[in-house]
Structure 1
């Protein structure tokens, strides 16, 4: 398990883990099971569905996966929503629109990142906004409010 006899102490925890979790032929059980009455669970096994974990939890496969997905989805949503800033725009406000690299208005990395000003024509649900040019011509598509920022004169 080691390449050099001088670094054996660095590999010792891994060797002991392998020794303690490997089944013995004489008893048919691991030393960990004999001492603690349950199998050792590696942290990676808790995250990745394995047959042994599902059997110990006495859940069927679909129920276990549904619980993990619900928990993970709620945790990710909570982490995302913690950083979301709600932006409220009113009709008639002046805003700047972000120029994304995949848009035809993109001119390169030394060009401005924002264009405008535009006027808010409609405020739709879930943060969508319909913009209009300063001459009154309305944009055909709604824009998400995270791609615009308020323009201060």
Structure 2
């Protein structure tokens, strides 16, 4: 599912892609993100969360991890994909943000 694109300082018109996912259940909580370069190279990131959280919280953490990785690499053009309707619609500004969702908008600034 498509989330968002930033077009500032276009890198030859070829965006990077970020795919993220998070999961929370009785066994544990984990997150993952993959940055895909314009030429198709994959850069995966995973982490186990050491705190109790909901599935939505895990999705936010996965998205944040991926966006931070993109910022650290000075990526300027990024398409973000995920399977969480909550995260997607809040990133696009189509659903009202609440406290934790609002943190996503502060990361890039």
TM range (shorter): under 0.3
More helix as a share of residues: 1
Rg comparison, structure with higher value: 1
TM-score w.r.t. length of structure 2? 0.23
TM-score w.r.t. length of structure 1? 0.18
- With a CA cutoff of 8 Å and minimum separation of 6, indicate the structure with the bigger relative contact order: 2
